């Protein structure tokens, strides 16, 4: 049994963490899958998915931490737009966002058991925007029985 749906999420800041658990839970409910898994993938290269705690002050730490490791105004070859070919006229300087996205990963897999997402008490599914604000598309696939 297989259920596929794309969902759109609007992000509000240049770096923003948002909780998308309810959105994914709704898709799993629609799917009718009792036992299996939900695979959530971002179709972008400058945002990421992670499972962690929805706590406002932690969200600020996440932003501070990753923007210190990969500062937006650092020196990156990808940001030398005049040296690249075939780029859109509105191409942003976002190399740091690619690097953070790679560290965090663009997909998450959550087990479905008894028709529900299996998440611990403090776990939420988080979308991490690193190059917003934008509308992002997530592919959600629920596979199982």
Tell me the closest approach of the beta carbon of residue 39 to a copy of itself, in angstroms. 6
**Cβ distance to a copy of itself smaller for residue 14 or 44:** 44
Q: Does 116 bind a copy of itself (CB under 8 A)?
A: no
- Cα separation, 130 vs 44, in Å, equals 11
What sign does the CA torsion over 77, 80, 85, 88 have?
A: positive
Burial annotation 50-89 (CB, 10 A radius, 16+ → b, else e): eebeeeeeebeebbeebbeebebeeebeebeeeeeeeeee
**Cβ distance to a copy of itself smaller for residue 26 or 69:** 69
Q: Does 130 bind a copy of itself (CB under 8 A)?
A: no
Place of tokens 């898994």: 37
**Cβ distance to a copy of itself smaller for residue 9 or 139:** 139
Upper half-sphere CA count for residue 85 (Cβ side, 13 Å): 0
Residue in 40, 2, 43, 47 with CA at minimum distance from that of residue 22: 40
Tell me the closest approach of the beta carbon of residue 118 to a copy of itself, in angstroms. 5
Q: Does 55 bind a copy of itself (CB under 8 A)?
A: yes
Q: Does 30 bind a copy of itself (CB under 8 A)?
A: no
Range in contact with a copy of itself (rule: CB under 8 A) among 7-15, 23-31, 43-51 = 43-51
Contacting residues toward a copy of itself, per CB under 8 A: 2, 4, 35-37, 39, 41-45, 50-53, 55, 57-58, 60-62, 64-65, 69-70, 76-78, 80, 83-84, 95, 98-99, 101-111, 113, 118-123, 137, 139, 141, 143-145
């Amino acid at each position: 049994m297989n259920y596929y749906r794309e969902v759109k999420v609007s992000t509000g800041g240049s770096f923003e963490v948002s909780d998308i658990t309810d959105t994914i839970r709704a898709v799993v409910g629609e799917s009718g899958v009792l036992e299996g898994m939900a695979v959530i993938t971002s179709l972008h290269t400058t945002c990421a998915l992670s499972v962690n705690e929805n706590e406002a002050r932690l969200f600020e730490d996440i932003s501070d931490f990753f923007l210190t490791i990969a500062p937006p105004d650092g020196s990156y070859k990808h940001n030398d737009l005049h040296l690249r070919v075939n780029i859109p006229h509105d191409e942003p300087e976002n190399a740091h966002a690619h690097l953070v996205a790679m560290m965090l990963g663009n997909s998450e897999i959550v087990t479905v058991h008894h028709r529900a997402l299996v998440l611990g008490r403090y776990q939420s599914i988080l979308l991490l925007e690193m190059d917003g604000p934008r509308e992002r598309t997530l592919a959600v696939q629920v596979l199982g029985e």
